[in-house]
């Protein structure tokens, strides 16, 4: 889906996009688990619809985290 590719381009630096799909799989396996997401240890809360909906926040608690570091 091209919208996913465009979304990744907005979030990640261009040179790391080829590795990003592996990182997202691991992220889903260890951090954003289906039954119990670990939002407090997540670096994607700034772009996460679930986090904002679950917490009722319009802005994430820690939007200063930089996922490109």
Whole-number Å distance between alpha carbons of 12 and 57: 23
Q: What is the pLDDT along the chain (69 residues), one digit of tens a residue?
A: 567 667 766 766 777 777 877 888 999 999 999 888 999 899 888 888 888 888 887 654 444 444 444
The continuous run of DSSP H or E covering 56 comes out as none
Q: Please give the pLDDT value at position 29.
A: 94
Residue given tokens 């820690």 in the structure block = 62
């Amino acid at each position: 889906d091209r919208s996913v590719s465009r979304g990744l381009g907005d979030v990640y630096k261009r040179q790391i996009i080829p590795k990003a799909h592996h990182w997202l799989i691991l992220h889903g396996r260890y951090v954003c688990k289906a039954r119990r997401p670990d939002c407090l240890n997540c670096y994607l809360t700034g772009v996460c619809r679930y986090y904002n909906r679950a917490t009722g926040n319009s802005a994430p608690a820690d939007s200063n985290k930089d996922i490109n570091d």
